[in-house]
Structure 1
Amino acid sequence: MKDYVIHKSFGKVGFKNGDLIRVDLLDGFKIKNIPELKNFNFYYEIKGHVDWAFRKGKKVERKVRYVRVFNKKKNK
Structure 2
Amino acid sequence: MAKALHGYLVGTDAREQARLLAENRRLRQRVRDLETQLLAVLEAGDAATATTTPTTTATAPASTATTRTGLAPV
Q: Do Structure 1 and Structure 2 share a fold, with TM-score over 0.5?
A: no
Relative contact order, CA 8 A, sep 6+: which one is greater? Answer: 1
The alignment's TM-score, normalised by the length of structure 2, stands at 0.17
Structure of higher CA gyration radius: 2
Structure number with the higher strand fraction is 1
